[in-house]
Amino acid sequence: MNSLLTHWHPLLVQLAESASGGDAAHDSNHLHRVWRNASQLLEDYPEADALVVMAACYLHDLVNLPKNHPERTMASRQAALLASRQLAALDFPARLLSGVAHAIESHSFSAGIHAESIEAKIVQDADRLDALGAVGLARLFYTAGRMGSGLAHADDPMALHRELDEKAYAIDHIDTKLVAIPAKMQTEAGRRLANQRLLALTSFRDDFIAEWAASPATP
């Protein structure tokens, strides 16, 4: 298996980089981090096919639409179809194509497709881990800036008297989506890592809100 991974890794990276769309939150560094996360998870699940996991990690964002795009929910399905065509053209093992496609289409929050295989569960967890921790925090604000979102509600950053609105306020995304990630992880290993990384986000959120809501200085 190691020789297969060594052979396919540069080819997968090349395919992924050819589809780069200038989104720094979903660039080649993101793909490398997802594969690194998946490699860590694979240590707990030796029955998983590592080549399927690696291919899906690098090709899951071949079609990457902004979070506010009207066809966002279809992006992972489109990426799975494109990946299948491109891999087949490179003589990727045909028996693995359906597994790669399923792992890609089910990785997305918005697609709502249940991950059935252990490979798909690992890829989904590995991708979601990159939404947490210090890098996840940086990606959160980068994406919010691209969408034109504000940092936080001027008078109610904790959303005590309003509904959370992640599209309007970046800090709301932590409580709207990110705090729920650990409980939704598909693997026990992923859940452990997610809980560790979530602490960095919630600690930042509390410090941010304390500074944001501080009373104005008096003369």
Mean pLDDT of the chain: 89
Going by C-beta distance under 8 Å and a sequence separation of 6 or more, which residues neighbour residue 184? 128
Read out DSSP for the chain? -HHHHHHHHHHHHHHHHHT--S-GGGSHHHHHHHHHHHHHHHTT-TTS-HHHHHHHHHHTTSS---TT-TTGGGHHHHHHHHHHHHHHHTT--GGGHHHHHHHHHTS-TTT-PPP-SHHHHHHHHHHHHTTSHHHHHHHHHHHHHHHT-BSS-SS-TT-SSS---TTTBTTHHHHHTGGGHHHH-SSHHHHHHHHHHHHHHHHHHHHHHHHHTPPPPP-
Q: Residue 68: what pLDDT?
A: 57
In the predicted model, is pLDDT for residue 216 greater than 90?
A: no
- For 51, the token pair is 């080549």
In the predicted model, is pLDDT for residue 122 greater than 90?
A: yes
Residue 105, judged by CB atoms within 10 A of its CB (0-12, 13-18, 19+), counts as buried
> What domains lie within the chain, and their CATH numbers?
1-119 (1.10.3210.50), 131-212 (1.10.3210.50)
Q: Residue 194: what pLDDT?
A: 96
Q: Residue 63: what pLDDT?
A: 82
Query: If you average pLDDT over residues 91-101, what whole number do you get?
Result: 96
The structure tokens 């709207």 sit at: 176
Judged by average pLDDT, the poorest of 25-34, 195-204, 210-219 is 210-219
Q: Residue 171: what pLDDT?
A: 96
When pLDDT is cut at 50, 70 and 90, the band that residue 17 belongs to is: confident
Q: Are residues 166 and 141 in contact, defined by beta-carbon separation less than 8 angstroms? A: no
Backbone φ, ψ for residue 171 (5° rounding): -65, -25
Going by C-beta distance under 8 Å and a sequence separation of 6 or more, which residues neighbour residue 54? 5, 8, 9, 12, 35, 38
pTM of the shown model: 0.88
Q: Are residues 115 and 124 in contact, defined by beta-carbon separation less than 8 angstroms? A: yes
Q: How many CB atoms lie within 10 A of CB 215?
A: 5
CA-nearest of 67, 92, 90, 64 to 78 is 64
When pLDDT is cut at 50, 70 and 90, the band that residue 118 belongs to is: very high
- For 133, the token pair is 């921790």
In the predicted model, is pLDDT for residue 219 greater than 60?
A: no
In the predicted model, is pLDDT for residue 73 greater than 80?
A: no
39-66 per-position pLDDT tens digit: 999 999 999 999 999 999 999 988 876 5
Query: If you average pLDDT over residues 189-210, what whole number do you get?
Result: 94
